[in-house]
Structure 1
């Protein structure tokens, strides 16, 4: 890959080693050569792809979760989300995660967008979906480290919560704003 003047931009990876590995992610250290020939190190977080689900009930309420987030030391309010299983397609994962975390089953699931939220330091890929006609007819199946409270909320109230820093989960914020900007008129 080159810039507009034909100067190469891609880094050459010389070596790769896992510096830390746990069940949710790994930290990888690479020795790289920059386009100007400089050799340096670069650390990256690698994790499975994830899904985020904006789930509407038949009466247009949004299914919302509250979950403790150790990294920030507080309970966060947001949308159901989770990682893909090996060889699982994102739409299947969205349906599964919605049911596992909330007990809601979607009548219809459609893709919204796919983003790389932290591509300066992680290989994270988040697939955002909107689910319609969601009903609490499934069985929750939380992971051992999940403690989730489920509720429903008014869509416009959630958008307002973003404006006053009452909904700070970045995945959820992006999903709501993307839907509002590009898909919301279809509601």
Structure 2
């Protein structure tokens, strides 16, 4: 690789893009790419606007919501989360989602980390925040959103994970962050 180029030795150069589907939340496209060895291949790519998730801590408990997840055909227990609205900053989205889904407002909220959920086929980035010093307000669920909020201990959360009632990456990441916080005092 030449020092004058910004191309990484593993980069795949897009030769063409075919839009397949445009939905409310995601779009799907198929890209034809040139591989580093000069061959071509296709890549199915899901485009997503990004999302936020909130590890909301209240009285040494974590706020979670239980809701039905159609792709899994079962209910799941997860931390409050949602997609970014167009032009919305992740911090503002985290505050909004926390209040909409749990009714709580954060006295303090800070960024923990950001991660890609499935980089093999999607560009969704998820921004994880921790919210503390919570005060209760009212939930404001979307018209198509049906969920129930509860607060659980770290031990309950590990048990739910063992039972696969918690099985999504954002909530599991939050559990490990919370455990590290309890051990070190830092996120």
Question: For 1:146 and 1:56, how far apart are their aligned partners in 2?
Answer: 23
| 1:35 counterpart = 2:32 | no
Match of 2:96 in 1: 96
Aligned positions of 1:61-80 closer than 5 A: 61-80=61-80
Shift in CA distance, 76/16, structure 1 to aligned 2, threshold 3 Å = same
For the aligned residue pairs, the C-alpha RMSD in angstroms reads 2.0
Question: For 1:140 and 1:36, how far apart are their aligned partners in 2?
Answer: 54
Shift in CA distance, 41/130, structure 1 to aligned 2, threshold 3 Å = same
| 1:145 counterpart = 2:137 | no
Contact 1:13 1:30 in 2 (8 A): yes
Give the Å deviation of 1:177. Answer: 1.1
Question: For 1:169 and 1:145, how far apart are their aligned partners in 2?
Answer: 21
Could you list the runs of 5+ residues in structure 2 that have no partner in the other structure? none
Give the Å deviation of 1:117. Answer: 1.9
Match of 1:55 in 2: 56
Question: For 2:115 and 2:178, how far apart are their aligned partners in 1?
Answer: 14
Give the Å deviation of 1:165. Answer: 2.8
Match of 2:109 in 1: 109
Secondary structure of 1:143 counterpart: coil
Give the Å deviation of 1:169. Answer: 2.1
Secondary structure of 2:114 counterpart: strand
After superposition, give the CA deviation of every residue in 1:102-129 in whole Å (9 maximum; x if it has no partner).
Answer: 1111111011111112101100101111
**Higher strand fraction: Structure 1 or Structure 2?**
2
Question: For 1:146 and 1:166, how far apart are their aligned partners in 2?
Answer: 19
Shift in CA distance, 7/93, structure 1 to aligned 2, threshold 3 Å = closer
Match of 2:169 in 1: 170
TM-score (structure 1 length as normaliser)? 0.89
Question: For 2:43 and 2:76, how far apart are their aligned partners in 1?
Answer: 31
Question: For 1:7 and 1:85, how far apart are their aligned partners in 2?
Answer: 32
Contact 1:112 1:179 in 2 (8 A): no
Q: How many residues align?
A: 181
Secondary structure of 1:37 counterpart: coil
